[in-house]
Amino acid sequence: MDKITEINPRNHIWLKRLTKIPQPVSKLYYMGRLPDKQAPTVAIIGSRKPTAYGREITLRLAEKLARRGVVIVSGLALGHDALAHRGALNGGGVAVAVLGTPLPTITPRTNRALGEEILQSGGAIISEIDKIDQNSKVFYKTTFLQRNRIVAGLADVLIVTEASRRSGTMSTVRHALEQGKEVMAVPGNVTSPLSVGCNILIQQGATPILCVEDVLEKLGIFDEPKQLKLHFKDPREQKIYDLIAGGLRDGDELQRQSGLSASEYLTAITMLELSGSIRGLGANNWGLK
């Protein structure tokens, strides 16, 4: 287990933002490695019992944002918190978990392995709590509410992916609004109880998220992600891959510009898709994975 370090947020470039919020933070404890620059940061929160739709959205958003250098913050709780951290790790990015309990114990126990993976991947787990009477149940309500202000305080943008009307998620939203932070929400099916909270937030002025670019725009990130240049033994596969990497999408045009016969083209593009190098976009259009 990583050692526990005590720090005054005022003395750290990324944590310094916590000294400028209502109820500022004067002391933190952390394990792992904190971001060493003023990196763009997004907090992703939601229900502890996500739907299949919510799971997919949270994982995708966190992964794509992480690939663009965005730090992903959440509370390591069950459900969307854990999914946000998992998505960040899948994207090779930095995840920071904020606990409402003292270190070094990683809670909840079911997410202990995920917490250890966050540390191994260059992220951090932080807590404001030093010691606590473990026999007292009162601390759960107070410290977790305190934790929510830190989750919001670290973020440039707060994202809510799923929430019921009376969700505990709204506590973090209130902190974000009080701190003057941008709040964004994922719209959902009006018949789904776990989309009611998000839809109400949007109705009240939260920015809806239709794609990851909506979040990147709020963060001021407009550069295109760098694509890894792949090399293939089969020159036909290489030719098609290079055309797609160059921006060509239409299948008929891909075949024409590649100069391949119909059978050669079909074989090559099938192999590229099976290897996970490209993906179908529908209507005979193709893109990089």
Residue 66 CA to residue 94 CA, distance in Å, equals 7
Can you tell me the distance from the alpha carbon of 95 to that of 86, in angstroms, rounded to the nearest whole number?
Answer: 8
pLDDT at 80 over 80: yes
Query: How far is the CA of 135 from the CAs of 131, 140, 147, 277, in angstroms?
Result: 12, 11, 20, 53
Total structural domains in the chain?
2
Instruction: For residues 79 and 105, state if they share a domain.
Output: yes
> What is the model's pTM?
0.75
Determine, yes or no, domain membership for 195.
yes
The residue range of the domain holding 103 is: 5-219
Tens of pLDDT, residue by residue over 214-272, are 999 898 887 655 555 678 889 999 999 988 877 777 888 899 999 999 999 999 999 99
Q: Are residues 62 and 203 both part of a single domain?
A: yes
End-to-end CA distance of the chain: 36
250 shares a domain with 143: no
Give pLDDT tens digits for 113-171. Answer: 999 999 999 999 999 988 654 444 445 556 777 899 999 999 999 999 999 988 878 99
Q: Domain ends where: 179, 194, 219?
A: 219
Cα gap 152→43, rounded to integer Å: 7
